[in-house]
Amino acid sequence: MSLPIAPGTYGIDTAHSQLSFAVTHLGISTVVGTFDRFSGALFVGSGLADTVISIEAEMASINTGHTMRDEHVRAEGFLDTDHHPQMLFRSTAIAEAGSGYSLKGDLSIKGTTVPVTLDASYNGAAIFPVDGSTHHGFLATGSISRDAFGVGTGVDILSDDITLTLNVQFVQPADEG
């Protein structure tokens, strides 16, 4: 089985994509944020076994809409962005699951790599009228543990579970059909 797109290397249209997260605060509300600078690619092979997605985010680009909170989360007790500037996800397996895909991979945050599974869906393709390129939309989401990565360990006002969401448009290479 393969993705419904041609083999090739697809870059991310970062202007029309978002890497976000959500964490529960005090058990009563959800704080949502983004990583505003990220890059990556989708390498589509002849089948799902030959297909890999790789995403890298600049941790210092965290944006929760509150400057003091962002500075606190960048600090040593949380993301420690001075010593761990990147977050990296690289898929290890993609399989059909229900009406979408199960995306397994290794997620590295703050010097720790943990296997994670994301639920993914293919949202279709469209021609971007500005330049005529073909864009393919994907959504991937899953839950990770703050404690597993040593992020804010012992801070009990935040949930351990963090929801990660990648809402992305990959751009088909110009030489692909």
Looking at the predicted structure, is the pLDDT value of residue 6 above 90?
A: yes
Contact 1, 48 (CB under 8 A): yes
pTM above 0.85, yes or no: yes
Report d(CA 82, CA 86) in Å as an integer. Answer: 10
With respect to residue 176, please indicate whether it lies within any of the assigned structural domains: no
With respect to residue 42, please indicate whether it lies within any of the assigned structural domains: yes
Report d(CA 29, CA 39) in Å as an integer. Answer: 30
Structural domain boundaries enclosing 167: 8-171
- pLDDT value for 153: 74
Report d(CA 110, CA 142) in Å as an integer. Answer: 19
Report d(CA 177, CA 173) in Å as an integer. Answer: 8
Element (H, E) at 166: strand 158-171
106: CATH: 2.40.128.110
With respect to residue 152, please indicate whether it lies within any of the assigned structural domains: yes
With respect to residue 3, please indicate whether it lies within any of the assigned structural domains: no
- pLDDT value for 160: 94
What is the number of structural domains in the chain?
1
Work out the end-to-end distance of the chain between its first and last CA atoms, rounded to an integer number of angstroms.
Answer: 19
With respect to residue 97, please indicate whether it lies within any of the assigned structural domains: yes
pLDDT in tens, 145-177: 999 999 987 778 999 999 999 999 999 998 754
With respect to residue 109, please indicate whether it lies within any of the assigned structural domains: yes
With respect to residue 177, please indicate whether it lies within any of the assigned structural domains: no
pLDDT in tens, 8-41: 999 999 999 999 999 999 999 999 999 999 999 9
List the one residue out of 19, 105, 115, 106 whose CA is nearest residue 58.
19
With respect to residue 106, please indicate whether it lies within any of the assigned structural domains: yes
